[in-house]
Amino acid sequence: MPVIDGAAGHCTLDLTVTAPDSKPVYGATVKVHIAYGFGGMRKLDLEASTNVDGKVKFTGIPSRVRRPPLEFEISKDQLTGTVTFDPETKCQTTRQIALQVAKPADQ
């Protein structure tokens, strides 16, 4: 399983990404912006891709962040999704998300 370490705390998120048909999504991009520390002065932008089982793990997440919950944005081709995670309420967690087809932007 791919692991990305933010090296800013002891919280972790294990994420499993599936398609609408419940099959694992390989190569989905997962991004998160983390602001933490006094006044949110410290910032982390983490990005990782899922493996063939649709899994990725984020470690080293600080337990206190500015404006929780964190939003993990996931995308692969026309599929998108968002997972929220509040490390202050549950520091070690596992989530699963079924991506949906992205809605076209209004023009």
Confidence (pLDDT) at 40? 82
- pLDDT per position as a tens digit, 62-78: 999 999 999 999 999 99
Report pTM: 0.91
3 state SS for 40-72: HCEEEEEEEECCCCCEEEEEEECCCECCCCEEE
> Distance (Å, rounded) from C-alpha 56 to C-alpha 84?
15
Span of 56-65, 75-84, 95-104 with lowest mean pLDDT? 95-104
Please name each of the domains of the chain with its CATH number: 3-101 (2.60.40.1120)
- pLDDT per position as a tens digit, 6-45: 999 999 999 999 999 999 999 999 999 999 988 889 999 9
